[in-house]
Homo-oligomer: A and B are copies of this chain.
């Protein structure tokens, strides 16, 4: 399977699993459910859950173990998009070529749908933890080890989400203000980076990888996280509106501080290239086993939406 086929296969698996979870954990209110599903099941690249699974598969083959955490992280990601788009924050009307949640439904529904998705992420985690602890056939020591790994992941999960929320907060605070390159990097390390780093850490921890492996993969994720944001800024400046599904040039109009406003278009492209190369360097030790993660770094740098 080449990279594109593998990516598509992962996306299909994740989309199916997300729909299944939505169905299992339906909230009692139909319209609120619809609003959550509208955002969660709208597609998107599924980059975060794919990172969890692909990292897990570096060490172990049966990725079902990490699936609940892959699903939970995608729920958190979608919660953050819904709240980010709200009139009180970015006030965006479109995302991925679709109306944003509060435009499609209404503001109150979008606030509560975001809240619901964040909470649902933890519901998925709680269900997996309970299933693991009540497993009948597992060896007792294996079960205890499994629970310990999952509890470590659960704590890291809450901390990464905390950093993401803090990152969003700073992003709203600096809008229209001059900021330094360091501040710009700080924002994105929190806003986007914390969650992407969490993805690979979850995959590695759940597969019981060594501290050294967790570290190498965290370095990789930090770099592709920044690369992802730089590419976003570049696309926001010169992307194709039709492909992006949202207006181009908004950042400039809002005088938003981006990697493009900070380093110029060429400077940003150069930085993107450097980070991508370094990210690939971080996972070189895994050889062909990490081929997918390498291609993923290139995909992030070369995507057009």
A residues whose Cβ falls under 8 Å from a Cβ of B: 25, 27-29, 31-32, 79, 83, 86-89, 102, 106-112, 114-116, 118-120, 122-123, 126-127, 129-130, 133-134, 144, 147-148, 151-152, 154-155, 157-159, 161-163, 165-166, 168-170, 172-173, 190
Contact B112 A133 (CB under 8 A): no
Q: List 9 A-B contacts (CB under 8 A).
A: A27-B166, A83-B115, A89-B111, A109-B169, A112-B168, A115-B115, A115-B118, A119-B162, A120-B158
**Cα separation A42 to B157 with both chains bound (whole Å):** 28
Contact A166 B123 (CB under 8 A): no
| B-chain residues with CB within 8 Å of residue A32 when the two chains form the complex | 165-166, 169
| B-chain residues with CB within 8 Å of residue A126 when the two chains form the complex | 151, 154-155, 157-158
| B-chain residues with CB within 8 Å of residue A134 when the two chains form the complex | 148
**Cα separation A152 to B86 with both chains bound (whole Å):** 34
Contact A29 B88 (CB under 8 A): no
**Cα separation A120 to B157 with both chains bound (whole Å):** 11
A48 to chain B, nearest CB (A): 16
**Cα separation A130 to B147 with both chains bound (whole Å):** 10
**Cα separation A190 to B158 with both chains bound (whole Å):** 25
Contact B29 A170 (CB under 8 A): yes
Contact A169 B123 (CB under 8 A): no
A116 to chain B, nearest CB (A): 5
A86 is contacted by which of B88, B109, B161, B172 (Cβ under 8 Å)? B88
A149 to chain B, nearest CB (A): 10
A183 to chain B, nearest CB (A): 12
**Residue on B nearest A87 in the bound complex, by CB:** B88
| B-chain residues with CB within 8 Å of residue A118 when the two chains form the complex | 115, 118-119
Interface-central residue, A107, A111, A173, by most chain B CB under 10 Å = A111
| B-chain residues with CB within 8 Å of residue A133 when the two chains form the complex | 144, 147-148, 151
**Cα separation A129 to B122 with both chains bound (whole Å):** 14
**Residue on B nearest A29 in the bound complex, by CB:** B166
| B-chain residues with CB within 8 Å of residue A108 when the two chains form the complex | 88-89, 169, 172
| B-chain residues with CB within 8 Å of residue A169 when the two chains form the complex | 29, 31-32, 108-109, 112
**Cα separation A110 to B88 with both chains bound (whole Å):** 9
A202 to chain B, nearest CB (A): 13
